[in-house]
Every structure is written in C-alpha cells, then in structure tokens.
Amino acid sequence: MTAFTLTLVVPWAAGIVLVFCDGRRRTIGWLAVAALLGNLAALIVLATTVLGGEPLRATTGDWPAGVGIALRADALGIVFALVSSFALLAATVHEVLHGVAERVFPGLVALLAAALTGVFLTGDLFNFYVFFELAMAAGYILATYGGTRRELGAALVFTAVNLLGTFVFVLSVAGVYHVTGTLDMTQIAARLDTVNPNAAVLIAVGFFIAFGVKLGLFPFHFWLPTVYTGARPAVAAILSGGLANIGAYGLLRFGAELLPRELELAGTALIVVGCVSIVYGSLLAVSRRTAAETLAYSAIGQVGYILVAIGIGGPVGFAAAVAYSIVNALNKTLLFLTVQMRGALVGGAFVVGAFSLAGVPPASGFIGKLEIFRATADEPALLALILLGSALSFVYIFQIYQYDFWRGERAGPVSSRPQQALIAVVALVVLAAGVWPEPLLAFSRDAADVLVGGAR
Amino acid sequence: MKLVFALAASTLFGTGAYLLLNRDLVRVVLGIVLISQGATLTLVASGLTRGRAAIYPLRGQVSDPLSQAMALTAIVIGLAVTALLLVLVLRVALEFQSRRLDEVAEEEAARDARLEAEEAADHASEDEAAR
C-alpha cells in the first residue's frame, strides 16, 4: 500500500519542487533522476505484489469509494508503468550526462512520470482523462526542448494534433457517462454490455481515434515524423518510449476490457489498418537517409504490429500485443538515444537495437515478433505480410548502420564515457529480455489475463 | 433541451474545424479553443437532468453534479492548455517572424531542399573521386 502511494507522490512532489529550480544545474538534474528511480523502485515493489496475485485498489485521501480518486493496480497497468518509467529514467540520465539545456526539463520529466503512472494505475475514466492531459501537457512543453526553429515547429504540430485527439477522447468519455451513468471502469465494463450497440460503436470509434493519434497509426500518423525528427534525441526517446505507451495501453484497456464486443466487431478492420501501417511505415523508412527520420517512420510501422495483435484478440493476441508494446518501447528508447552519439560502445548498442527492431535473436525483439507470429499463425496471408514488414525493417535499420557507422558519416564529437556506458546498459536490458524471455512472457500473459477476465 | 445542446456543440465543432483549417496560427488556436468548448458542452449534456443545484443541504431533486464537475475540470484543463498553445504560437511567431502556417512550412521545405542539394553534391564529388 505504501508503495502504491509512493509511485505517485514521489515524482509528483519532486516535479512540483523541481519545476521552480534551475534545471541546468547538475544537482537538479540528478534530483530528478533520483525521483524517477524512486518511482521505478516503488513500481517494482508494487509489481511483486500485483503480478500473479490480486489487483490492488485504493481511494486517495480515505474518501468513501466513488468520491475520492480511485486507483487500481493490475498486471496490465503495472507492466506499462514499469516500461514507461524505465524509458523516462534512461532518457533523463542521458540528457543530464549530456548537460541539460533548459531549466524546466528535470521538473517536467518528473511530472510526466507522475502523470504516466497515474494514467496506467487509475481505475476511473475521468481521472484517466486528467492524468492523460497532464502527461500530454508535459509532453507538449518537452517537445519544445532545445528551442530552435525545428523544435518549435515540431512542438506546434504535436500540440495541435494531440489536443484534437484528447477532445475526441473527452467526447467518448461523455458518451460513456451518458449511456452507463458511471465512471468506474469495472462498472462501465459490466454496464456497456446492455447498452444500445450503435452508441457503443460510436464511443469505441472515438476511443480508437484518440489512441490511434497518440500511437501514430497509419491514418493518424501525419504528425509523427516531423515531431520525432525535430525533437532532441532524449525527448524523442521520452515521447516514443514513454508517452506513446498511453496509446497501446488505451487500446488494450478500452478496447479489450471496456468494449470487447465492439473490438471483436472491428477485428478485421483493425488488422487491415495495422497492416497498412506496417507496410507504409517500413517502405517510407527504407527511403530515408538519416537515423532520426528512419526511426520516426519505423515507429509508424512498429505500432502496426501491436494493432494487428489487438485485432486478432483472445488471450494469445492480447499477450502478443503487450509483449510487443514492451519490446517496442525499449527498442525505441535505445535507438533514439543513440541517434546523435558516437563511440565504440554506441555502435554495439545500435546493433543490439537494430537486431531487436528487425526481430533477430537473441535480442528481445525476436520474442516480440515470435509472439506476433504465434497470434497470426492461422492466417498465412497475414503471416507473409508481417514477414515482409520484418524483412523491410532489417533493410532500413542496417542501411542506417551502414551509412552512420561503416562509412562513418555521423559527425560530431565522440560521446563521453558515462553516456556510452548508459547506452550499453539499456542495450543489455534489451538483450537480457531476449536471452531470458520468461519474465517478459509471464508479465504479458498476466496482463492479457486481466483483459480476458474482464470480457467475461 | 438535448437538441439545443447537440446543435450548439455541433456548431462549435463546425466553426472550430473551419478555423483550424486556416493558415493563420492565431485562428488555428481559436479553432482549437472552440472545439474544446464544444467538448465541454458535450460533457455537460451527458448528464442532463432537471433539478436544483447540488449544494448542501440537498432538498428535493438535484441535477447531476458529476457531469458539471467534469465540465469544470475540462474547462480548467482547456484554459491551461490554451495558454500553453498561445505561448507556443508566440515563440514560433517570434522565431519565424511570421504567424502564417504556410510560411513556417515553407521554411522547413526550404531547409529540406537545401539538405538534399548538399547530399546530391556530395554524391557527385564521390562519383568523380571514384572515376
């Protein structure tokens, strides 16, 4: 219970204090790192009690249930919270080692960690929206980090498009409240079974658009390349490794738990959209020359796999979606962080990330792809398409390796030792999850059990 | 009553969408503000019941306070985000010396074209060296 409170309070309190401090000083940066470490440690303690056991429920401030902010920690939420927290931690350490350029950066990252934890651990629909908006607001400001024309242009696009996404989300929240009369997610799941199917489909479409925008799925992807190439590497890692998880989590939570019938109805459509995302993202990534651009387009392709797995559904599909989301977040964190670095360890770390992205053993991406293959095993056409996507990802990521490391086109000073060591540690995590995949698979199955249990 | 709310919300959305497609960044922000108001109105409309204000002590039938609380929260969040967006537009306007979206995009296109031209030049010199 203490751990539950600490997961939210530590980064939140730290964030509020740090926002008022000058983040360019090293100590402030390290304080933010300490807050993130506290958040991660509390999440791990929480995970040990929740995984394999009963979900925890709590209401803040000892209010009667239904009045205070309802929190709920189950396997699905905790897994996503852990991954996001790790991504934020890695990116922040990277940036602090590099030297923070703007005073608000450490405080905002701590607030973002609090908001993300809140999103993943809330049991109330409206609180989800509040935490969601809090995380996005921190993301909007982080996107301007650096403050040159490129970042400002990217941040403008990011803010405008994602704001529209959240308004669509609010509409769906209003719709859910109107038809069910409650905001508690468990009660919504029970009551949505009996409502008018037309209303439920409309609500589901709203949620899909909101989270599709967040993930950067094919028809809603147009903002993504500008932002991920325009932002600084650490910010791109935070946005793609931390913030984008909201999209995958939202699709799983809202699609599979709250609206399972509508998800089943839209299964084929989701698979088609996912496949278009895979092909579109991979093809455009092949045609790009710089690492940042290739990774940005590859992000569109990678989320396609998650959508395909969700579209297939069932325990196997959902487990695959969770596993792939975890692996994808780790890959993106690692690869975006290496974008502007040089050095002996950087090349090695990039290769690990590249193997993982392309799904080559022993990196963890192989496990993610394997799960997707298992989910799609019954449909040869789909299997072939996913294989094509993997082949293309192999081509584009090694094209970048060739340009940047073999031909030595990457300019700039060699990165400092501690920064290289950090990248190596992240690479080792990606590698370890592939060499010893049992925890990853167990987590994702636990998470999928939550959803399939909710459907009953 | 519901029809009035639906019409008002859809008008706000329509006007907002029209402004959003404008080239002027300030109008884009205004469009987003209007759309956020439309969303807030929908939140209010989601729990539309007749009754007195839900202020303690409660007497007789009260109107649904939850949707009003949600609308209030949404208004506060909308205000904060609008302020953020306006600051962002201000910084873009100062940086690009323009608040028109097409001019901002033009600069980016020009930068990309310059990069590509440099790359092509690099390739040409490499080819010559190879010969």
Q: Which of A4-8, A37-41, A404-408, A409-413 has the lowest mean pLDDT?
A: A409-413
Structure tokens that stand for A6 in this block: 């600490």
pLDDT value for A114: 95
Q: DSSP label at B131?
A: -
B43 contacts A174? CB cut-off 8 A = yes
pLDDT, one tens digit per residue, over A324-346 is 999 999 999 999 999 888 888 88
Contact check, Cβ <8 Å, B43/A170: yes
Identify the residue with better confidence: B112 or A231.
A231
Query: Phi, psi at residue B63, to the nearest 5°?
Result: -75, 160
Q: How far is A42 from chain B (nearest CA, A)?
A: 28
The enclosing H or E element of A71 equals: strand A70-73
Residues 6+ apart with CB under 8 A from A310: A251, A252, A255, A256, A263, A270, A274, A317, A318, A321
| Interatomic CA distance for residues A15 and A12, integer angstroms | 5
The confidence band for B126, taking pLDDT boundaries of 50, 70 and 90, is low
Q: Across the interface, do A167 and B35 touch by the CB < 8 Å criterion?
A: yes
The span from the CA of A435 to the CA of B12, in Å, is 54
- Condensed to tens digits (0 to 9), the pLDDT of residues A418-443 reads 889 999 999 999 999 989 989 889 88
Min Cα–Cα distance to chain B from A177, Å: 6
DSSP per-residue string spanning A175-199: HHHHHHS--BHHHHHHHGGGS-HHH
CA distance B99 to B103: 8
Nearest CB among B20, B74, B88 relative to A144 is that of B88
CB of A113 within 8 A of CB of A83?
A: no
Which of A129, A171, A177 lies at the smallest CB-CB distance from B47? A177
Residue B57: cis peptide before it, omega within 30 degrees of 0? yes
**Contact assessment for residue B2 and residue B48, using Cβ atoms and an 8 Å cutoff:** yes
Contact A109, A142 (CB under 8 A): yes
pLDDT exceeds cutoff 70 at A456: no
Q: In the predicted model, what is the mean pLDDT of chain A?
A: 88
The pLDDT assigned to A95 comes to 92
Compute the average pLDDT of residues A118-133. Answer: 91
Using a pLDDT cut of 70, give the percent of chain B over it: 89
Kindly identify which residue of chain A lies nearest to residue B37, measuring between CA atoms. Answer: A167
Angle (CA) A328 A331 A335, round 5°: 140
CA A377 to chain centre: 26
Which chain B residue is nearest to residue A163, measuring alpha carbons? Answer: B32
Where residue A455 falls among pLDDT bands split at 50, 70, 90?
Answer: very low
More confident of the two residues A135 and A454: A135
Please check whether residue A178 touches B, CB under 8 A.
yes
Judged by a CB distance cut-off of 8 A, whether residue A222 touches chain B is no
Cβ A207 vs Cβ A259: under 8 Å: yes
> A177 and B84: CB-CB below 8 Å?
no
Q: Is B5 on the interface with A (CB under 8 A)?
A: no
User: 3-state DSSP call for residue A360?
Assistant: coil
d(CA A15, CA A101): 17
Please answer yes or no on whether B73 and A126 come within 8 Å at the CB atom.
yes
How confident is the model at residue B129, as a pLDDT?
A: 67
Q: Say if the Cβ atoms of A167 and B84 lie within 8 Å.
A: no
Proportion of chain A above pLDDT 90, given as a percent: 46
Annotate A11-25 with DSSP letters as a single string.
Answer: HHHHHHHHHTS-TTS
Q: In which residue are the tokens 């990277």 written? A: A94
User: Quick one: tokens of A218?
Assistant: 């094919």
With the CA atoms of A157, A159, A163 and A165 taken in that order, what torsion angle do they form, in degrees rounded to the nearest 10?
50
Greater confidence (A37 vs B112) lies with: A37
pLDDT at A61 over 80: no
Cβ separation B81–A149 shorter than 8 A: no
